[in-house]
């Protein structure tokens, strides 16, 4: 099922109904409903995560089923991997950089599983003009993009701003603390090793430089010494090269 939203006013209600028909919604079917509706204007919250969703007069397509997805993006094989079971929702809109599709899964695991399937499919069967990236629990597509750079810039404007707050005790608190302890210990160990190795290296370099400077100074002083002999006129071996 699919539902289209534009600028939101009473005169636009009739236009929205016409737009739903244009997307191929069968007559007599109920409008698509989102599990998360904004209290301000009754729009699905997912719609408001589109880039510039209210800056320009733009049409949005809200999708919560495979039929609506097929109607909006017919011929895109990669979208066959999207499963709408369990409350998955999507929103689509057209931009100069391409046709943007944001799919939201109800759990991180569902998004991660879909991400693995999608990336594997696109790696095996690349689709021209299609750019994909996972953003939080959003699986974001750009179709018919003129270039990968413009599509990537459009995806960069999509932000996943939701946070999870547990009413009771966080069941993942111990795992997060363990991960934090391991990460902190690793960083401290790496920093300590780098400081020790760096200190040893600096000490060696400074020692070499000091030795060279000391040797040069001693050579200059020895060159200034007056030559003499303590052999009392006898023949002696000039081992120190100080006697003429």
Q: Where are the domains of the chain?
A: 2-156, 173-227
What pLDDT does residue 188 have? 95
Cα–Cα nearest to 142, from 103, 102, 90, 100 = 100
For range 202-212, the mean pLDDT: 95
Cα–Cα nearest to 160, from 113, 111, 204, 217 = 111
Position 9 pLDDT exceeds 90 = no
Sign of the torsion formed by the C-alpha atoms of 15, 67, 154 and 151: negative
For range 99-119, the mean pLDDT: 88
Cα–Cα nearest to 103, from 83, 122, 117 = 83
In which band, very low, low, confident or very high, does the pLDDT at 24 lie, cut at 50, 70 and 90?
Answer: very low
What pLDDT does residue 190 have? 95
**Neighbour tally for 177: CB within 10 Å:** 10
Lowest mean pLDDT among 11-25, 69-83, 84-98, 136-150: 11-25
What pLDDT does residue 26 have? 34
In which band, very low, low, confident or very high, does the pLDDT at 58 lie, cut at 50, 70 and 90?
Answer: low
pLDDT, tens digit, 9 for 90 and up, residues 116-159: 999 999 998 888 889 999 988 889 999 988 888 998 999 888 87
Distance CA 152, CA 108 (A): 22
Lowest mean pLDDT among 45-54, 152-161, 183-192: 45-54
């Amino acid at each position: 099922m699919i539902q289209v939203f534009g600028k939101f006013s009473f005169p636009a209600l009739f236009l929205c109904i016409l737009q739903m028909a244009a997307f191929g919604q069968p007559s007599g079917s109920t409008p698509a409903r989102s599990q998360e509706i904004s209290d301000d204007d009754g729009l699905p919250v997912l719609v408001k995560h589109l880039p510039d969703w209210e800056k320009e007069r733009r049409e949005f397509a809200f999708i919560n089923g495979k039929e609506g997805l097929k109607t909006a993006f017919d011929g895109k094989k990669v979208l066959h991997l999207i499963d709408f079971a369990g409350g998955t929702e999507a929103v689509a809109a057209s931009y100069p950089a391409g046709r943007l599709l944001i799919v939201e899964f109800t759990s991180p695991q569902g998004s991660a599983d879909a991400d693995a399937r999608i990336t594997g499919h696109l790696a095996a069967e690349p689709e021209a003009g299609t750019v994909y990236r996972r953003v939080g629990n959003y699986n974001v597509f750009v179709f018919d993009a003129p270039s990968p750079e413009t599509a990537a810039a459009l995806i960069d404007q999509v932000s996943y701003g939701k946070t999870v707050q547990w009413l009771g005790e966080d069941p993942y608190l111990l795992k997060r603390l363990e991960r934090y302890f391991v990460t902190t210990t690793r960083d401290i160990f790496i920093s300590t090793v780098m400081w020790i190795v760096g200190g040893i290296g600096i000490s060696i370099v400074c020692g070499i430089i000091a030795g060279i400077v000391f040797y040069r100074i001693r050579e200059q002083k020895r060159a200034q010494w007056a030559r003499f002999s303590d052999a009392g006129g006898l023949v002696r071996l000039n081992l120190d090269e100080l006697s003429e």
